[in-house]
Amino acid sequence: MNKKKMLQLTCATLALFIGGGVTADEFTKQDLQRWQAEYMAAVKAGRDVFTDPKLGSNGIVCAQCHPNGANTHPETYPKFQKQLGKVAQMWEMVNWCIRNPLEGKDLAANDPRMTNMLAYIAHERRGKTLTPGKH
């Protein structure tokens, strides 16, 4: 076998191995139940943050202006946001609202409170068709 052929064979074998690795993992009904429970726990925790007067510094809560996630439009992200002057993700607008109406400090994008709030907002708007960029 020449070098080129050997390389081809090695690549093909590797692809088989790696390919096998990326096929969907097996999961059971119990897994699904556990994951759904974890997700719903995040949604519930997100609602708590959304209604927490201690998130900002002035006692105002998200739900006062966005009852049940109203006017948050998660299905339109990413999109250009005038307030930020760029195409933004929704967590960046959440931080805009924390800084402005709530007079608080930004949360990191991967802060569990941010993840939970995003889960709560998306859950409230579930079923909406994705329309990224829309105003």
Our CA angle for 17, 22, 26, nearest 5°, is 110
Shortest Cβ 36–ligand HEC spacing (Å): 24
**Any idea which residue has 């402005």 for tokens?**
100
* Cβ-contact 80, 86 below 8 angstroms: yes
Shortest Cβ 96–ligand HEC spacing (Å): 7
Residue nearest ligand HEC, CB atom distance: 62
Alpha carbons 113 and 95: distance in angstroms, whole number? 12
Shortest Cβ 38–ligand HEC spacing (Å): 21
Contact positions toward ligand HEC, by CB under 6 A?
55, 60, 62, 64-66, 71-73, 76, 90, 93-94, 97-98, 101-102, 117
13 vs 131, beta carbon nearer ligand HEC: 131
